[in-house]
């Protein structure tokens, strides 16, 4: 008889977004006239920058001719994309990352999950709470946790609460951990980490031989040069960190699919036999075996984001979403709501009025304002009493949503 991976049975049944979908559908069925505005799931809404569309059209034409046709590409990605990433995202900012340390993929969600392939099964994993659920669930699937308790917290995971009380920066763990997930600018809270905060984590990792998994999916939304965009801006990070980046949010590729992971060559660990092992080599081996590269057409599109027109159009797209975020921050603040984030990330994290629970506030906003957001408690127990609104929407929807929000809470 075959067996399944029973770790999957530990996963909590009511995953956040299906539960939101269920409640929204029930409301919509009962109120077919209601024009619901969704500021829930973090998905982009605006069309692709023109330079990227042109590049992808040209890439399709390449595929239509024998002499410019492309079959399997390099598993690590094409040089025409890895090189501008290394030069413009890193070296131009004084950050030491080489093109051959960059692994192009079809998404950061898969990379953050797949990376567990090269890591041992008995690492103690630390995550912030609230957190991007992918880090937790992939570790549950890989058998790195115990069962969930009634609050949805898994045994063996170390939860590091991030709330207004600690200014959304986690304290160092009080028990030994091996792997730490950090995401800045942060999803869901929209907050950022200072250089000092990240240095504290890198120093901790160096001292305790930990690995930092740094998710920088929102780095392009940072508008202040004093805030780090990469963990590799931090001294010592090349020995302890892997960085995940994605084209999903900055150039609108959630539906196109392209991302990359940086594994520095200095990142090594001593195996149980005593040999020093390079994680770069392990990841290269893993990708070469289980992945056949991102599509040529898609990589051509991503590379166009690094041309002068592409850069300008990408910046305009980011500015558009960040103006939405600013409108949300201003609108909510004007009716007395306490808000966090929204300055260097397309998410606004608000304190629910009158200490309402996150789900009660969700229901109220849906019923009275026909607005959908995301309950903070869905991202972790410490998110209770908070609520996330996404700035990914049309200007008209954001403006209408703000007026409705105001009338619901005042």
Ligand X SMILES: *Cc1c(COP(=O)(O)O)cnc(C)c1O
- Catalog residues that contact ligand X under the rule CB under 6 A: 42, 107-109, 132, 183, 187, 215, 217, 246, 248-249, 254, 259
CA 353 – CA 121 distance, rounded (Å): 42
Query: Least separation, in Å, of the C-beta of 211 and ligand X?
Result: 17
Coil, strand, or helix at residue 286?
helix
* Comparison of 42 and 228: residue with beta carbon closer to ligand X: 42
* Comparison of 243 and 331: residue with beta carbon closer to ligand X: 243
Query: Least separation, in Å, of the C-beta of 207 and ligand X?
Result: 27
Query: Least separation, in Å, of the C-beta of 254 and ligand X?
Result: 5
Query: Least separation, in Å, of the C-beta of 249 and ligand X?
Result: 6
Query: Least separation, in Å, of the C-beta of 186 and ligand X?
Result: 8
The residue number with the shortest CB distance to ligand X is: 107
Reported as half-sphere exposure (CB side, CA atoms, 13 A), residue 8 has a value of 3
Query: Least separation, in Å, of the C-beta of 268 and ligand X?
Result: 26
* Comparison of 258 and 401: residue with beta carbon closer to ligand X: 258
Query: Least separation, in Å, of the C-beta of 122 and ligand X?
Result: 25
N- to C-terminal Cα distance for the chain?
61
- Please state, as a whole number, how many other Cβ atoms lie within 10 Å of the Cβ of residue 81: 26
CB 145 within 8 A of CB 113: no
* Comparison of 348 and 408: residue with beta carbon closer to ligand X: 348
Residues facing residue 229 across a β-bridge = none
* Comparison of 102 and 409: residue with beta carbon closer to ligand X: 102
Output the six-digit token pair for 284: 């290269």
Query: Least separation, in Å, of the C-beta of 64 and ligand X?
Result: 28
The crossing angle, in degrees rounded to 10, of helices 50-63 and 296-304 is 150
CA 56 – CA 301 distance, rounded (Å): 5
* Comparison of 112 and 197: residue with beta carbon closer to ligand X: 112
Q: Which residues of 244-263 are buried (b: 16+ CB within 10 A; e: fewer)?
A: bbbbbbbbbbbebbbbbbbb
CB within 8 Å of 359: residues ≥ 6 apart: 375, 377
**Given CA atoms 49, 52, 53, 54 in this order, what sign does their dihedral have?**
positive
Helix (H) / strand (E) element for 57: namely: helix 50-63
* Comparison of 157 and 408: residue with beta carbon closer to ligand X: 157
H-type helices in 259-357, by residue range? 279-290, 296-304, 308-334
- Looking up tokens 């797209």 gives 317
* Comparison of 185 and 369: residue with beta carbon closer to ligand X: 185
């Amino acid at each position: 008889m075959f067996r399944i991976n029973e770790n999957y049975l530990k996963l909590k049944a009511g995953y956040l977004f299906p539960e939101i979908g269920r409640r929204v559908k029930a409301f919509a069925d009962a109120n077919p006239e209601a024009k619901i505005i969704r500021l829930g799931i973090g998905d982009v809404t605006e069309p692709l920058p023109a330079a990227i569309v042109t590049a992808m059209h040209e890439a399709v034409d390449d595929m239509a001719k024998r002499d410019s046709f492309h079959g399997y590409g390099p598993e690590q990605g094409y040089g025409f994309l890895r090189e501008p990433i290394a030069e413009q995202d890193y070296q131009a900012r004084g950050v030491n990352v080489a093109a051959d340390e960059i692994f192009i993929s079809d998404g950061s969600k898969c990379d953050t999950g797949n990376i567990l392939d090269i890591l041992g099964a008995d690492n103690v994993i630390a995550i912030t709470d609230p957190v991007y659920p992918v880090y937790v669930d992939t570790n549950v699937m890989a058998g790195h946790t115990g069962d969930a308790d009634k609050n949805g917290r898994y045994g063996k995971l170390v939860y590091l609460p991030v709330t207004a009380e600690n200014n959304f920066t986690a304290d160092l763990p009080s028990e030994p951990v091996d792997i730490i997930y950090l995401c800045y600018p942060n999803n869901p809270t929209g907050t950022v980490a200072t250089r000092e905060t990240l240095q504290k984590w890198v120093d901790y990792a160096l001292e305790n031989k930990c690995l930092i998994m740094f998710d920088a999916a929102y780095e392009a939304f940072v508008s202040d040069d004093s805030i780090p965009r990469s963990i590799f801006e931090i001294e010592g990070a090349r020995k302890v960190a892997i960085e995940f980046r994605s084209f999903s949010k900055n150039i609108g590729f959630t539906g196109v699919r392209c991302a990359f992971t940086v594994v520095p060559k200095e990142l090594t660990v001593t195996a149980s036999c005593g040999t020093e092992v390079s994680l770069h080599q392990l990841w290269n081996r893993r990708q070469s075996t289980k992945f056949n590269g991102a599509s040529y057409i898609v990589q051509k599109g991503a590379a166009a984001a690094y041309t002068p027109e592409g850069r300008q159009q990408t910046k305009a797209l980011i500015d558009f979403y960040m103006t939405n975020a600013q409108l949300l921050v201003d609108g909510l603040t004007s009716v007395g709501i306490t808000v966090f984030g929204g300055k260097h990330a397309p998410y606004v994290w608000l304190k629910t009025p009158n200490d309402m629970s996150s789900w009660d506030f969700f229901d109220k906003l849906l019923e009275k304002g026909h607005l959908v957001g995301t309950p903070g408690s869905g991202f972790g127990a410490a998110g209770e009493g908070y609520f996330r609104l996404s700035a990914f929407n049309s200007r008209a929807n954001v403006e209408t949503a703000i007026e409705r929000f105001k009338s619901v809470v005042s």
